[in-house]
């Protein structure tokens, strides 16, 4: 899907679809409530797209998140239930006429494997940057949490996705809100992880927000109480969503949702009874 925000071009580019356990995606929300927004398979898994955001602005080419990438073993592919009928992120970029060498900046919303696995690729025995000319932007706190994980977080913080980049000098650690280009900025949106960030694009009187995992599906953005079991600070995430709901309503901002197969992009409106409601873009 493509969008124009002022003179900036945005494009959701796919790294495929993964099937995730619904218990993770919906946490404590009962199945009777969520099954109208996501249809589970026989293993109680629901599809989650891995849509990365390509931003072209002022002659710069920026990609936000890199999906799961191509380093997974066949067993890993099976565990994630990966479907890539049209290839992965690099293939999606090539269809847009963009080679890996063309990317100027990679932003990682956070360092969970489904958002940064495509940062690096295997070349022989070596792990090398997928985007060799890019600077990779990560919040310093996120990098610290990923580099020193605990028993709960270690399964998704996989060193091969970021340590080789740190060692080769490709990573730029940022502290808090940071401008990528005029009107394009990283904003800290804590809760899913402590150092999680999203990307805001405000150009020419228009606005968009790439949420990352601040909200997994559109329904998680509508309903503050709905959140995944993966959020390390759920009540912090709830307040983050409250803040960005207000922003979305005030700016009529386009909301870009990396994991929602049914509504990858939409707008929040106040709705009836004051209950916010997401409406998808056609
Ligand atoms: Zn995710």
CA of 137 to the centre of ligand 1 (A): 17
**Sorting pLDDT into bands at 50, 70 and 90, what band is 6?**
very high
Model pLDDT, residue 273: 84
Model pLDDT, residue 262: 94
What phi and psi values does residue 107 have, to the nearest 5 degrees? -105, 130
The angle at the Cα of 20, spanning 155 to 37, to the nearest 5 degrees, equals 145
Model pLDDT, residue 272: 81
Which strands, in side-by-side order, build the sheet including 60-64? 2-5, 8-21, 45-57, 60-64, 105-107, 135-139, 171-174
Closest CA to 263 of 223, 231, 221, 201: 221
Percent of the chain at pLDDT above 70? 100
Q: Tell me the C-alpha distance between 251 and 199, whole Å.
A: 15
Predicted structure pTM score: 0.96
CA of 163 to the centre of ligand 1 (A): 19
**Sorting pLDDT into bands at 50, 70 and 90, what band is 29?**
very high
- The predicted model gives 8-36 an average pLDDT of 95
CA of 207 to the centre of ligand 1 (A): 23
Does the pLDDT of residue 130 top 90, yes or no?
yes
- The predicted model gives 44-53 an average pLDDT of 96
Q: Tell me the C-alpha distance between 209 and 195, whole Å.
A: 17
Does the pLDDT of residue 193 top 80, yes or no?
yes
CA of 230 to the centre of ligand 1 (A): 9
CA of 136 to the centre of ligand 1 (A): 18
CA of 272 to the centre of ligand 1 (A): 30
pLDDT in tens, 259-277: 999 999 999 999 888 899 9
Model pLDDT, residue 274: 80
Model pLDDT, residue 3: 96
Query: If DSSP states are collapsed to H, E and C, what string results for the chain?
Result: CEEEECCEEEEEEEEEEEEEEHHHHHCCCCHHHHCCCCCCCCCCEEEEEEEEEEEEECCEEEEECCCCCCCCCHHHHHHHCCECCCCCHHHHHHHCCCCHHHCCEEECCCCCHHHHHHHEEEECCEEEECCCCCEEEEEHHHHHHHHCCCCCCCCCCCHHHCHHHHHCCCEEEECCCEEEECCEEEEECCCCCCCCEEEEEEECCEEEEECHHHCCCHHHHHCCCCCCCCCCCHHHHHHHHHHHHHHHHHHCCEEECCCCCCCCEEEEECCHHHCCEEEECC
Comparing 72-76, 123-127, 236-240, 263-267, the range with the smallest average pLDDT is 72-76
- The predicted model gives 161-189 an average pLDDT of 97
CA of 123 to the centre of ligand 1 (A): 26
pLDDT in tens, 78-104: 888 999 999 999 999 999 999 999 999
Model pLDDT, residue 120: 98
**Sorting pLDDT into bands at 50, 70 and 90, what band is 76?**
confident
CA of 122 to the centre of ligand 1 (A): 22
Does the pLDDT of residue 282 top 80, yes or no?
no
Closest CA to 109 of 51, 63, 64, 76: 64
- The predicted model gives 21-30 an average pLDDT of 94
CA of 258 to the centre of ligand 1 (A): 8
Does the pLDDT of residue 11 top 90, yes or no?
yes
CA of 69 to the centre of ligand 1 (A): 13
């Amino acid at each position: 899907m493509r969008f124009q925000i002022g003179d900036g071009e945005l494009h959701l580019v796919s790294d495929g679809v993964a099937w995730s356990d619904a218990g993770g995606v919906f946490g404590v929300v009962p199945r009777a409530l969520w099954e109208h927004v996501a249809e589970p398979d026989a293993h109680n898994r629901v599809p989650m797209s891995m849509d990365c955001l390509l931003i072209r602005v002022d002659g710069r080419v920026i990609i936000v998140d890199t999906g799961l990438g191509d380093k997974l073993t066949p067993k890993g592919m099976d565990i994630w239930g990966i479907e890539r009928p049209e290839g992965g992120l690099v293939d999606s970029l090539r269809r847009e006429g963009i080679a890996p060498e063309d990317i100027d900046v990679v932003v990682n919303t956070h360092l969970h494997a489904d958002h940064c696995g495509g940062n690096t690729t295997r070349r022989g025995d070596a792990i090398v940057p997928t985007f060799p000319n890019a600077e990779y932007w990560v919040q310093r706190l996120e990098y610290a949490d990923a580099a020193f994980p605990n028993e709960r977080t270690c399964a998704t913080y996989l060193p091969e996705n970021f340590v080789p980049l740190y060692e080769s000098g490709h990573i730029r650690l940022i502290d808090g809100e940071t401008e990528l280009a005029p009107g394009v900025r990283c904003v800290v949106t804590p809760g899913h992880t402590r150092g999680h960030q999203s990307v805001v694009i405000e150009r020419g009187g228009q606005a968009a927000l790439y949420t990352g995992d601040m909200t997994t599906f559109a329904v998680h953005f509508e309903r503050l109480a709905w959140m995944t079991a993966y959020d390390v600070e759920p009540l912090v995430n709830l307040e983050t969503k409250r803040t960005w709901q207000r922003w979305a309503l005030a700016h009529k901002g386009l909301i870009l949702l990396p994991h929602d197969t049914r509504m990858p992009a939409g707008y929040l409106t106040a709705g009836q009874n004051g209950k916010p409601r997401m409406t998808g873009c056609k």
